Amino acid sequence: MATKAHTDTVDIIIEMAGYGIGYWTSSAVIDTDARTYTVTEEANGATHVLTDTMIHKALREAAKEHPAAKATLREYRAREEFIGGELGSDDADTIIQLAALGELVYG
């Protein structure tokens, strides 16, 4: 079971992704009951159902390894949490692309 901090972190990522992924998605749907985030690629119509675990795993990958990781993601690595307002839409875009596509494809 996910901890509250884990769930809160994923919620922040999903909220900020709404501002950052519109250039490559045709839709993004949150299912609060199932705790999933479904994104559909505009270019090919592919749909990706992301779980909290997938998003958190992508966050950890971005923070530790990804060359596009911003300072915010590197700082996350040290604390394992975000402080309100720290995560930007570009960071969330990176995380969602990694969760959905396994790599940065867009942007």
pLDDT at 56: 87
Beta strands in 1-107 (DSSP E): 25-31, 36-41, 47-51
Read off the pLDDT band of 99 (50, 70, 90): very high
Domain extent for 51: 4-101
65 close to 103: Cβ distance less than 8 angstroms: no
Number of domains the chain contains: 1
pLDDT at 21: 97
Query: Which residue type is seen at 77?
Result: R
* Straight-line distance from the first to the last Cα atom of the chain, in angstroms, rounded to the nearest whole number: 33
* C-alpha span between 67 and 62 (Å, rounded): 8
Would you say residue 106 lies in a domain? no
- Give the pair of three-digit tokens for residue 24: 């490559």
Would you say residue 107 lies in a domain? no
- For the segment 64-94, what is each residue's pLDDT rounded down to a tens digit? 766 666 666 666 655 666 555 577 888 899 9
Instruction: Kindly tell me if the per-residue pLDDT of 1 is higher than 60.
Output: no
